[in-house]
Amino acid sequence: MSTESDLQREPTIFSSMLICFFLTVQLFVALVFRQRELALLSVLILLVMGISKAWSVLSISRVFCHLETDKRRLFPGESLLLTTRIVNAKLLPVWIQVVWPQTRLLENRDDGRNTPREAGLLWYQQTTFGHPLTAVKRGCCRMGPSNIRTGDLFGFFHSEKQQSERLEIVVYPRLIALKPIALPKRDLFGTPGGQSPVKDPVYINGIREYRPAGPARYIHWKASARHLKLQEKIFEPSEQGKIILALDVSSFEKNEAADEFETTLEVVASLCLQLDQTGLAVGLITNGTLEGADVASVPAGRGAHRLSAILEILGRVQMKSRGSLLPMVPLIPGPQRFATWACFCFQNDGATDAMRARCGSGSMRFALFAWHLNASGHGLRHVKPPHTHLIRTLILPDAADTRGG
């Protein structure tokens, strides 16, 4: 039967080599002077120490750790339960201790500390530890016990091994209330209206079972072979607006604006949800380094999978630039050149001017969202560029108070 304890075991005198030396000397003296009782006591103590040491060495073998959690993606303020299952797959009973590392993203719901947990396991027995955690800030981390200690049931000696299994947890940016934002639109066939029968053959929104009345050129042959039934492509309507949100991390990194960077991510995440609810296709591109991932762009589209992909990038992105954002614009598929580009940065400088010039020279439309509208960060330019907004003005006062609290 397993038991739990919140206290770490303190080392005993029996784990000291000095005590072992004194016992050996005591045994030698007892044998020389023929003190049978003292010699027997020394032998028993040395025997217990030797058996305990061998026990602790063997205890680490065939001890397995399995991690489970009820969710791996969550928002700040949400909770998850990290379950650690320890299995003793041998005949030798063991004492175990599980230690979790501290993380800045998640904290313990019970006492705010990652307290080590202990248990005694008999042969072929297992136990489970529940670790309730609450997300406190955005980011990506790998959770799991940093190491596992095992030892004899007396607690004299212990062995330790590093635990390699980890669960990746991604905390999305906090969703906040935003004011309605009007963005310039540009579509492939103009804006013919919500009832237009014209479909854009470039944007595939999904597949469905083929209908005989549909054109044969819309048949998705690979999907049909996979489902053993004819499947046809579903296209997005041409009147659907397409918005690409561009996050310029280099300006935040240059100005060491960590707080503004986190707030910008919350604004971008909330804006994605707002635009998707209004029927617009949303995409994302960033020049920031991602924690545990490489793909830093999501083509414009609609649906829960698109929002999940965007939130995944926003949860993983760090305030560390991979280079200029401007050369990354061609990475978005060709049809996205007809979309509206909304650039989020710390300040309006030469990089954003080059971005505006590239979009203005083609078929795209451009909008800028910044914390400062000039490079110095003080005041406004004499001539404010069109479709330029201050990020702080997008946040509703109630939402700002909630974040501050």
pLDDT in tens, 149-179: 888 777 777 788 777 777 889 999 999 988 8
Bridge-partner residues for 243, per DSSP?
282, 340
CATH class of 242-404: alpha beta
CA dihedral of residues 32, 34, 38, 39 (deg, nearest 10): 70
Q: How confident is the model at residue 225 (pLDDT cuts 50, 70, 90)?
A: confident
Tens digits of residue pLDDT in 127-155? 888 888 888 899 998 877 667 888 877 77
Distance CA 230, CA 225 (A): 8
What is the pLDDT, as a whole number, of residue 4?
40
pLDDT at 192 over 80: no
pLDDT at 14 over 50: yes
pLDDT at 194 over 60: no
What is the pLDDT, as a whole number, of residue 196?
42
What is the pLDDT, as a whole number, of residue 2?
40
pLDDT at 190 over 50: no
Distance CA 400, CA 300 (A): 29
Max mean pLDDT among 53-62, 97-106, 260-269, 331-340 falls in: 260-269
Express as a percent the part of the chain with pLDDT over 90.
Answer: 12
354, 251 Cβ separation under 8 angstroms: no
The ranges of the chain annotated as CATH 3.40.50.410 are: 242-404
Q: How confident is the model at residue 317 (pLDDT cuts 50, 70, 90)?
A: very high
CA atoms within 13 Å, Cβ hemisphere of 265: 28
pLDDT average, residue stretch 64-93: 88
What is the pLDDT, as a whole number, of residue 198?
46
Q: How confident is the model at residue 312 (pLDDT cuts 50, 70, 90)?
A: very high
What is the pLDDT, as a whole number, of residue 382?
45
What is the pLDDT, as a whole number, of residue 164?
72
pLDDT average, residue stretch 231-260: 81
Distance CA 56, CA 79 (A): 37
What is the reported pTM?
0.71
Least confident interval from 70-79, 81-90, 258-267, 343-352: 343-352
**Mean pLDDT estimate for the chain:** 77
Least confident interval from 45-59, 285-299, 366-380: 366-380
pLDDT average, residue stretch 46-52: 80
CATH fold for domain 1-171: Immunoglobulin-like (2.60.40)
What is the pLDDT, as a whole number, of residue 133?
86
Tens digits of residue pLDDT in 325-379? 777 765 555 555 567 888 899 887 777 777 777 665 555 678 889 998 765 444 4
pLDDT at 239 over 80: no
Angle at CA of residue 357, ends 353 and 358, nearest 5°: 120
267, 316 Cβ separation under 8 angstroms: no
pLDDT at 302 over 50: yes
367, 342 Cβ separation under 8 angstroms: yes
What is the pLDDT, as a whole number, of residue 170?
92
CA atoms within 13 Å, Cβ hemisphere of 219: 15
pLDDT average, residue stretch 37-53: 81
Burial of 8 (0-12, 13-18, 19+ CB in 10 A): exposed
Distance CA 102, CA 365 (A): 45
Can you give the three-state secondary structure of the chain, one letter per residue?
Answer: CCCCECCCCCCCHHHCHHHHHHHHHHHHHHHHCCCHHHHHHHHHHHHHHHHHHHHHHHHCCCEEEEEEECCCEECCCCEEEEEEEEEECCCCCEEEEEECCCCCCEEECCCCCCCCEEEEECCCEEEEEEEEEEECCCEEEEECCCEEEEECCCCCCEEEEECCCCEEEEECCCCCCECCCCCCCCCECECCCCCCCCEEEEEEEEEEECCCCCCHHHECHHHHHHHCCCEEEEEEECCCCEEEEEECHHHHHHHCCHHHHHHHHHHHHHHHHHHHHCCCEEEEEECEEECCCCCCEEEEECCHHHHHHHHHHHHHEEEEECCCCHHHHHHCCHHHHHCEEEEEEEECCHHHHHHHHHHHHCCCEEEEEEEECCCCCCCCCCCCCCCEEEHHHHECHHHHHHHHC
pLDDT at 12 over 80: no
Pick the more confident residue, 186 or 105.
105
Least confident interval from 18-22, 64-68, 183-187: 183-187
Q: 10 Å Cβ neighbour count for 71? A: 11
What is the pLDDT, as a whole number, of residue 332?
53
Q: How confident is the model at residue 63 (pLDDT cuts 50, 70, 90)?
A: confident
The ranges of the chain annotated as CATH 2.60.40.10 are: 1-171
